[in-house]
Amino acid sequence: MSLLTTHNLTVRHGARVTLNHASLTVEPGEFVGLIGPNGAGKSTLLRAALGLITAEGDSSLAKLSSAQRAKAVAWLPQAREIAWPVRVAHLVSLAQNEREDAPEVLAALARMDLTALADRKATGLSGGEQARVLIARALAQDTPLLLADEPTAGLDPAHQIACMETFSGIAKDGRAVVASLHDLGLAARHCTRLVVIHAGRIVADGPPRHVLTEALLSEVFSIRCYISDAAEGLVVQPLGQITQDDA
């Protein structure tokens, strides 16, 4: 059974259409990377799919009551700053009725390399450490679906890889993750599927090898990339901007 279905999801901000008839179905086993330039509509799609902002069209999650939705989906928003001076373990345990010894809480802390920081005040951590705490809280919710808005932002390379491998593991377990991402290399290597948003529209949707072509990267991102199907997997490295002089 699909974990998320949107049909013709459309968002307007005043006269501007910021999400234009976005239709998407997410199945168990998928790790979907949402990619697109700044302002393309990635956060808008995630928030409209969750029912957090007013939208036309349908989303299977937006129809749920808040109690049903908390069981169906975990949500990691883009904002990462933690305002409450609570212990890290306590903040993560909020996803499990404040049971700090719940296996989901302990596993999430370990997965985000936070076990040694579990007794520290969350507000006293670095920006990247706070980001890992919020990812851990979303993981501890242990839902069939996780929606994450730029989960790897602010993380060092090792923790970015750990985050992507964790999400990949969730998909391999038969659940699903949809994450907006700016790092095309990480998206190419770890996602099972990429959905490209450009000016509010879904313009490509498929396996990374099919989606990440020179033509699409030029058209949507105005960049040149090195693309190689290496033994380790698909490698995509942005090389430079395409300017009007190159056209």
Ligand X SMILES: Nc1ncnc2c1ncn2[C@@H]1O[C@H](COP(=O)(O)OP(=O)(O)OP(=O)(O)O)[C@@H](O)[C@H]1O
Question: How many chain residues interact with ligand X (CB under 6 A)?
Answer: 10
Tell whether residue 13 is a contact of ligand X (CB under 6 A).
yes
Please pick, from the candidates 6, 22, 33, 42, the single residue that binds ligand X as defined by CB under 6 A.
Answer: 42
In the shown chain, the binding pattern of residues 43 to 82 toward ligand X, with x for contact by CB under 6 A and - for none, equals xx--------------------------------------
Closer CB to ligand X, 79 or 230, in the complex: 79
**Shortest Cβ 172–ligand X spacing (Å):** 27
**Shortest Cβ 61–ligand X spacing (Å):** 17
**Shortest Cβ 194–ligand X spacing (Å):** 14
Please give the Cα distance from 240 to 226 (Å, whole number).
Answer: 10
Tell whether residue 41 is a contact of ligand X (CB under 6 A).
yes
Tell whether residue 174 is a contact of ligand X (CB under 6 A).
no
**Shortest Cβ 53–ligand X spacing (Å):** 8
Closer CB to ligand X, 117 or 204, in the complex: 204
CB 23 within 8 A of CB 7: yes
In the shown chain, the binding pattern of residues 19 to 38 toward ligand X, with x for contact by CB under 6 A and - for none, equals -----------------x-x
Where along the sequence are the contacts to ligand X (CB under 6 A)? 13, 18, 36, 38-44
